[in-house]
Amino acid sequence: MKKPFLVFTPRFLQRFSAKVGVYFLFAIAMSLGLFLSVLMLQSGDRVNAITQPLVTRLVPALHDISDLKTLITERQVILNQYFAYGLSQKQFKEKLQISNQRIQTLIDKAKSKWKTEPQHIALVASFENSKLVAEQLDQIMSAPTPDLDEARALLVENTIDTRNMLDQLDEAFMLASQNIKRAGQVSAQEVQDMIRLVLTYSLVILIIAILVAYYIHARQRAENRLAYAARHDRLTDLLNRSVFESDLANLNQQPHAAILISIDRFQRVLGGLGYEAGDELVVAVKDRLLPIVKQMGGTLYRFEGTHFAALFALNQPNYPQNLLPYQALLNALNEAIHVAGHELFATLSMGGAMYPKDGDNAITLIRNMDAALEVVQAQGGNASQCYNLEMNARAVERLALEAELRHAVERDELLLYFQPQTLIPSLKVIGVECLIRWQHQGKLVPPFEFIPLAEESGLIIPIGEWILRTACQQAKAWQVQGMPLVVAINISARQFQHPKFFALVKQVLTETAVDPQLIELEITEGVVMQDADHTIELLQRLRGLGVMLSIDDFGTGYSSLSYLKRFPINKLKIDQSFVRDMDSDQGDAAIVEAIIRLGHSLGLTVIAEGVETAAHLAALAQLECDELQGYYFSRPLAPADAQAFLHKKLLPESTQSV
């Protein structure tokens, strides 16, 4: 049986209750309860007035601002891709229309929340100007001869508009965050007042205290949700970049290693499967990386886009970088990832830097991690690289080299070298391959230094056009001199995928009046398999012009035999990596033999490149390879040397003496 309530009250309250009576105390308790109820109702209204705008207005506003920043950045990427010929006009218009609609929707949505704010007014103005810039860019790029300088100027203008919009959004985000902080402080003060009130009353008003606790709990939940959202990435639930920067600022010079991680070729997933699939891939990669990072005692963060960051504490400043979990992180994606019903094989690029050696603040450390990451991405990804001081210098050099490369054609600095191709075993010259060289500041720049830069910057398009035109002119000149040779021209991936490539080939053949059968276009195995159906159609149209077609570096890609037999090609070119060691490596010899048999079974000519020794020649002759190219017969020759060499090899002695 429960004891009477008064047993648990202080003794002085018992005496007082005995004098005044239980009903009087009950009346006092009821009065106090009613008074407290009024106070709680008012306090609850104040708490609700604080938390309601947080939930209904500020949090959605933060999400809208974040989404707007992402869409505005993606819109800039679309314009850059269009300028670099990564998108056709149709693709550009479709993607731009979708992006504009999504941005406009979010701007209209935000109008009701901060329409009077100067940030919104400036955002609307910048967005309208950026749409005009996009229209002007489309007009320029769709012209028969695009004015690339004017287009580049428009891109710079759009970049400024994009930066302005992002700055306005950052300012709006900061103001909203400040409002959340102030609301939290006011709410905290309200809670303290309520707790003091509750503690002043007796157990008689316990129910009222429970109600107050309920209000407190609701307020704390709202605050916790806001605080959590401010520190965590919405998609992956990882700590965000601001927390990374904050954590770095609190390290107090204690040695740490930081790794910037990026998903390779992420744009292909977005372009092929959509943004929802892209989000699924990001989450799946996070699920693979997080256990490894935790096992190593580190912390995983999500930066913007496809970037993650990992931070690890080190025992000493000179911690060996090869002990960092680069390989473990790379191996995390060895198995396929299932996204939107598709099986994907993703890879990672990673750039690492050491704190505080490579940067004692977040800005410097992130910049240096990114410099290391760019080195990996420039080499094709799926690898890691630690930062060193030379990277910044190389970045500056690359910028300077790109600027010089933009003027290489107009300054007549580009040269074509020619490497002869011969029949086996007679060694009769039947053709040459064109090899680009850059005569810059008195020395030859190796192709491996400027070709990737040309690919990345889009300069490969005008350079490729110059190569095609110059090669056709040379083939015509040799034809007139009585030396009809097949001239093989390497076609880059970006050039081959350009929507005007076929028209360019047709135009150059007409202008130079060269026999199309003397022109051979070499396309790498990886390029022809990117979009096999489109490639087949384009190759058929090129064959219709009469030119010869060959697949370069055969054996290094992943050709499907079902597609290979449908390609209207004339020749397979065995990659030199197999030829180089075929006399000592049975595996390479078997691959060479298999390619030769495959090519002959399909009625194709087979040529081996990288032939450097008599043993190579003997082995290829035994395997009945058709043609060779390599140092054994001739190195690549400058135009004058090639002219003299071919004149000696192909023309009768009487003609040479004349």
* Least trusted range by pLDDT, from 54-63, 145-154, 379-388, 427-436: 54-63
Better pLDDT: 353 or 565: 353
467 falls within a domain: yes
| Residue owning tokens 């240096």 | 368
527 & 610 share domain: yes
HSE of 475, CA atoms in CB hemisphere, 13 A: 29
Both 224 and 263 in one domain: the answer is no
Residue 118 vs residue 332, higher pLDDT: 332
Position 648, amino acid = K
Report percent pLDDT > 90 for the chain. 22
Number of domains observed in the structure of the chain: 3
Give the pLDDT of residue 384.
86
The per-residue pLDDT for 261 is 92
Residue in 429, 426, 449, 422 with CA at minimum distance from that of residue 437: 449
Q: Does residue 6 fall inside a structural domain? A: no
Query: Is it the case that residue 402 has pLDDT exceeding 90?
Result: no
89: enclosing H helix or E strand: helix 89-114
Domain that holds residue 642: 399-651
The answer on 445 and 363 residing in a single domain is no
Task: Look at residue 22 in the predicted model and tell me its pLDDT.
Answer: 42
590 in the same domain as 452: yes
Reply yes or no: is the peptide bond before residue 452 cis, omega within 30 of 0.
Answer: no
What is the pLDDT confidence band of residue 6, given thresholds at 50, 70 and 90?
Answer: very low
Inside any domain, residue 574: yes
Q: What is the pLDDT of residue 171?
A: 77
Asked if 449 contacts 401 with a C-beta cutoff of 8 angstroms, the reply is: yes
Pairing mode, strands 548-554 and 486-491: unpaired
Q: For position 304, which CATH number holds?
A: 3.30.70.270
| Paired residues of 348 in beta bridges | 263
553 falls within a domain: yes
The dihedral of CA 192, 194, 200, 204: what is its sign?
A: negative
Average of per-residue pLDDT values in the chain: 80
Query: DSSP characters for 342-372?
Result: EEE---EEEEEEEETTT-SSHHHHHHHHHHH
Q: What are phi and psi of 81, to 5 degrees?
A: -65, -40
Report yes or no: 539 and 569 within 8 Å, Cβ to Cβ. Answer: yes
d(CA 240, CA 651): 71
Distance CA 89, CA 166 (A): 26
pLDDT digits (tens, 9 = 90+) for 592-605: 999 899 999 989 99
How confident is the model at residue 475, as a pLDDT?
A: 94
273 versus 417: which is more confidently predicted? 417
Q: Give CA–CA dist 492/506, Å, rounded.
A: 17
Distance separating alpha carbons of residues 583 and 251, to the nearest angstrom: 57
Size (the chain), residues: 658
Q: Are residues 369 and 427 in the same domain?
A: no
Amino acid code (one letter) for 195: I
* Residue 411: pLDDT over 90: no
Dig out the tokens for 500 from the structure.
């005007």
Residues 6+ apart with CB under 8 A from 498: 85, 461, 504
Taking residues 102-118, report their average pLDDT: 69
The pLDDT value recorded for residue 4 is 46
What gap in Å lies between CA 244 and CA 242, rounded to an integer? 5
Beta strands in 463-547 (DSSP E): 486-491, 519-524
Q: What percent of the chain has pLDDT over 70?
A: 78
Does the pTM exceed 0.85? no
Listed in sequence order, the DSSP H helices in 274-378 are 275-295, 326-331, 362-378
Please, which pLDDT band fits residue 278 given cuts at 50, 70 and 90? confident
Instruction: Give the model confidence (pLDDT) of 40-80 as tens digits.
Output: 666 666 666 666 665 566 667 777 777 777 888 887 788 78
Tell me: do 317 and 447 sit in the same domain: no
Reported as type and span, the H/E element at residue 91 is helix 89-114
Q: Please, is 296 exposed, middle or buried when counting C-beta atoms within 10 Å of its C-beta (0-12, 13-18, 19+)?
A: middle
pLDDT at 393: 61
82-91, 368-377, 612-621: range with lowest mean pLDDT? 82-91
State mean pLDDT over 542-554: 89
Check whether residue 180 and residue 288 sit in a common domain. no
The pLDDT value recorded for residue 604 is 92
The residue among 388, 423, 458 that closes a domain is 388
